[in-house]
Amino acid sequence: MKHKHNINSEISISYIVTNKKLTTIAALGVTIGIAIFVFMNSMMKGFDRTSTESIFKTVPHIRLYKDDETSVPLSDKHKESETIIVNPKIVPDNNVLVNPNALIKLLQSQEDVKVVTPQTNANVFYNNGKSQISGNATGINIEEANKMFNIKSYVVEGNADDLKNIQNGILLGVGIANKMNVRTGDDISITSSKGVLKTMKVVGLFRTNNSNTDKSKSYINISLAQQLLQKNASYITDINVNVNDFNNANIYAQRFSKLTGYKAEDWQAANETLMAAAKMRKVIITVISFSILLVAGFGIYNILNMTITQKINDIAILKAMGFRGGDVVRIFVQQALIIGFLGIALGLTLATILVNVLSHVYVGGDIGYFPIRFEPSQYLKGLIFGFLVTFFAGYIPARKAANVDPVSIFRK
């Protein structure tokens, strides 16, 4: 036929207009469902972001190191007899990477690798007069390490770049500085596990907001760490790698491990407890937010069922007059979608308000302001799932309406 008229929509809209009150209630149900859905998921996103941000202040995406080895019998000639090792021990002094420079070059040449930097860790005591605390000095190349950990972003005093010029410079955690009562420009002596004593110049202080780290960690030049351990310049304990997509760090870790023969540990494996907590949080929030959305869907389902019962005569005569089953489905699905659209639009607005308000709430401690912000991806998710729920909440009763036998109505 020549002309296409939108009579199905006219009918849907008339049903919405005649049932204003219930329509409003159903739409408000969706509003609340969507608002909470988007809000909770944005909150989770915020938690995850602050959590990874704080992890990546000190942990690389992937850490390559030599795993401890346990002693094995030197000869296995007597295969038939059972080998017994009495008191196996970790092979001492074996935790070093052979030819680290070649390894670094190799890793740098890999796809998706952003930063590769060597690191040598030394366990030390920080001394000042009589007080002494244990901790660890991380030997780094400040320029590369800054690219990786963004150290400058959490330096609160002094200048991290001074490590470059001052060979015996040290960047101290604020916790250590407080205990030792030192400030930028002061001297501090450190003793290594090998008994080497060095006098260091404090070039700055940093605060990661992880109080354990701030009370034990310091950054020094990598050559100094090697001296503290009485090793030469090729003594590298870790090679740190950052990749483009940290969410896939485990895949790259496996690849690098195969490539180099050394152990490559991704950040998630290194922070199992935190990851497990995040996973649990995700499960709980997902379940709750979807349940709320589903309940909102029931509101729509309800009003549609009611409309269909009310308008059963209309359905019968429309079918008699030549409306197809598909037309009837469209009439009611459209009604659901209009209600859903109103609810979703309002819900996203409400979510924006909630996010805005909460992001201005100061929590304090490690967190500062509540870690929530406008997350476009969550809005999109809310939009999509909102419409999906709405669609099915409308489609199920609509199918029923489409299958109404008009004759059975006319006979009444």
Partner 1 sequence: MQTVLETKNVGKYFYDPEKFRVLNNINIKAYKGEFLTLVGKSGSGKSTLLYLLSTMDTDYDGEIWMDKKLVTGLNQNDLADIRNENIGFVFQFHYLLPEFTCLNNVMIPALKLGRYSKQEIEERAYKKLEILGLKDQALKPASKLSGGQQQRVAIARALINDPKIIMGDEPTGNLDSKNTQIVFDIFKQLTTEFGQTIIAVTHDNDFAKASDRTIVMQDGEILSER
Q: In whole angstroms, how close is the CB of 411 to partner 1 at the nearest point?
A: 7
Q: In whole angstroms, how close is the CB of 325 to partner 1 at the nearest point?
A: 6
Pull the structure tokens for residue 387: 């419409």
- 10 Å Cβ neighbour count for 349? 13
Which of 32/318 has CB closer to partner 1? 318
Q: In whole angstroms, how close is the CB of 333 to partner 1 at the nearest point?
A: 17
Which of 16/59 has CB closer to partner 1? 16
Q: In whole angstroms, how close is the CB of 391 to partner 1 at the nearest point?
A: 22
Which of 113/409 has CB closer to partner 1? 409
Which of 320/388 has CB closer to partner 1? 320
Backbone angles phi, psi at 382, to 5 degrees: -60, -45
Q: Give the residue, chosen from 1, 74, 86, 361, that forms a contact with partner 1 under the rule CB under 8 A.
A: 1
Nearest of 228, 169, 163 to residue 202 by alpha carbon: 169
Q: Are 242 and 60 in contact (CB under 8 A)?
A: yes
Q: In whole angstroms, how close is the CB of 408 to partner 1 at the nearest point?
A: 10
Spell out, one character per residue from 390 to 409, where the chain touches partner 1: x when CB under 8 A holds, - when not. ---------------xxx--
Spell out, one character per residue from 306 to 335, where the chain touches partner 1: x when CB under 8 A holds, - when not. -------xx-xxxxxxxxxxxx--------
84 touching partner 1, by CB under 8 A: no
Q: Which of residues 7-36 bind partner 1 (CB under 8 A)?
A: 7, 10-11, 14-15, 17-18
296 CB contacts (<8 Å, ≥6 apart)? 29, 30, 32, 33, 34, 343, 389
234 CB contacts (<8 Å, ≥6 apart)? 99, 100, 101
Q: In whole angstroms, how close is the CB of 331 to partner 1 at the nearest point?
A: 11
d(C-alpha 272, C-alpha 245), whole Å: 19
Q: How far is CA 231 from CA 96, 257, 262, in A?
A: 11, 25, 20
Which of 322/364 has CB closer to partner 1? 322
Nearest of 380, 382, 372, 277 to residue 44 by alpha carbon: 372
Residue 274: strand, helix, or coil: helix
d(C-alpha 256, C-alpha 240), whole Å: 11
Q: In whole angstroms, how close is the CB of 364 to partner 1 at the nearest point?
A: 58
Which of 152/324 has CB closer to partner 1? 324
Q: Based on C-alpha coordinates, what's the Rg of the chain?
A: 32
Nearest of 134, 122, 147, 127 to residue 224 by alpha carbon: 122
Nearest of 284, 292, 279 to residue 37 by alpha carbon: 292
Which of 7/353 has CB closer to partner 1? 7
Q: Are 131 and 180 in contact (CB under 8 A)?
A: yes
Q: In whole angstroms, how close is the CB of 10 to partner 1 at the nearest point?
A: 8
139 sits in which H/E element: strand 131-140
Which of 5/79 has CB closer to partner 1? 5
Which of 9/127 has CB closer to partner 1? 9
Q: In whole angstroms, how close is the CB of 8 to partner 1 at the nearest point?
A: 9
Q: Which of residues 340-359 bind partner 1 (CB under 8 A)?
A: none
d(C-alpha 251, C-alpha 156), whole Å: 35
Which of 217/319 has CB closer to partner 1? 319
Q: In whole angstroms, how close is the CB of 327 to partner 1 at the nearest point?
A: 8
Backbone angles phi, psi at 127, to 5 degrees: -115, 140
Q: Where are the alpha helices (DSSP H) in 151-266?
A: 162-165, 174-180, 211-214, 222-228, 249-260
HSE of 326, CA atoms in CB hemisphere, 13 A: 0
Q: In whole angstroms, how close is the CB of 323 to partner 1 at the nearest point?
A: 6
Q: Give the residue, chosen from 20, 21, 89, 411, that forms a contact with partner 1 under the rule CB under 8 A.
A: 411
Pull the structure tokens for residue 355: 């996010």
Which of 212/408 has CB closer to partner 1? 408
The footprint of partner 1 (CB under 8 A) covers: 1-5, 7, 10-11, 14-15, 17-18, 313-314, 316-327, 405-407, 410-411
